[in-house]
Amino acid sequence: MEGQSVIKFEDRGSARLERILADPERAERVTKIRQQMQEDDRANRSEQTSPPG
C-alpha cells in the first residue's frame, strides 16, 4: 500500500496505570476497588446460578 501511512498501536493505558500504581496511596485505593469489583462479580455469579424460588 504505497503512499499510505502506517498507524502504530500505542498502549498508553499501561503506562498510565504504572504511574498511578507508583504512588502507594493510589495503589492501595486501586487494590481496594479491584477487591470490591471481584466481590461484586462473585455475588452476581452466585445470583445467576442459584435456582429461583
Per-residue pLDDT tens over the stretch 1-16: 566 777 777 788 888 9
pLDDT per residue as tens digits for the range 9-38: 778 888 898 999 999 999 999 999 999 999
Map residue 4 onto helix, strand or coil: coil
Residue 18, sorted as left (phi over 0), alpha (psi -120 to 50) or beta, turns out to be alpha
Domain map of the chain by residue range? 12-45
Q: Which three cell numbers stand for residue 44?
A: 452476581
Task: Count how many Cα atoms sit within 13 Å of the Cα of residue 7 in the half-sphere of its side chain.
Answer: 2
pTM value is: 0.59
What would the mean pLDDT of 47-52 be, rounded to a whole number?
74
